[in-house]
Structure 1
Amino acid sequence: MTASILTVDDSSSLRIAIRIALSGAGYAVTEAADGMEGLEKARSAKFDMIIADLNMPRMNGLEMIREIRKLPIQLGTPIIFLTTESDEGMKQDARQSGATGWLVKPFVPEQLLRVAAKVLSR
């Protein structure tokens, strides 16, 4: 069975790069352009993993994660932040909000695939 991954980022070029990397490795990718859209998609379908930006319009990544963690359908879903932020305090906030891990942009596609494989135990 193919793992289903939701990617949430306000940069369309970054969403495309993430989609190319993940779909090329056999993952099914669903995209959202901001935290609000990501939350809507997380309410309507079960994902095996979520990759989210931190700084986005309408709803930032921390707010989105807090809301997703309240959804029974996403119980236990790993959430990885992919962001330009590297501050330790911000990482701590992310962990407390329910993030599973953290990748700093710019990312190398192989690095993203290693994280996905590890998180999804593939």
Structure 2
Amino acid sequence: MKSLVFLGCLTLFSVGVHAQNGSITIEQDPKIDELLKVYASVNSKAEFYQIQVGFGSYQKAQNLKTRIDQDFPGWHSKIEFESPTYRVRLGKFKTKLEAERKLLEVRQKYPDAFLLKPEKKERK
């Protein structure tokens, strides 16, 4: 008898419970998109220090970049071509102090690394 009552309650409960469908609408101020464009524009023109770790042929630069990415994960690294060689550069440091501190860390593994000053970009 108890199981019959329990089964009846369970049936009534399961009929009463059902999933609800819904949707979410996000309304965003159009000025946010404008601000994001301005932010991206300013950051693309930002001057920053970099550390040059090495240079050479494309293959040598690729191998060096692979080792750097393993030694300094999470740091920005890239290969840049400046005739006649490929240069491996590390980091985007906003202040000279920060860059010099990171340079000391990098030189422990790459003693020939040196600091590059930010290039002066023409402002419009």
Q: Do they fold alike, i.e. is TM over 0.5?
A: no
Higher RCO (C-alpha 8 Å, min separation 6):
2
Structure 1 length as normaliser, TM-score? 0.27
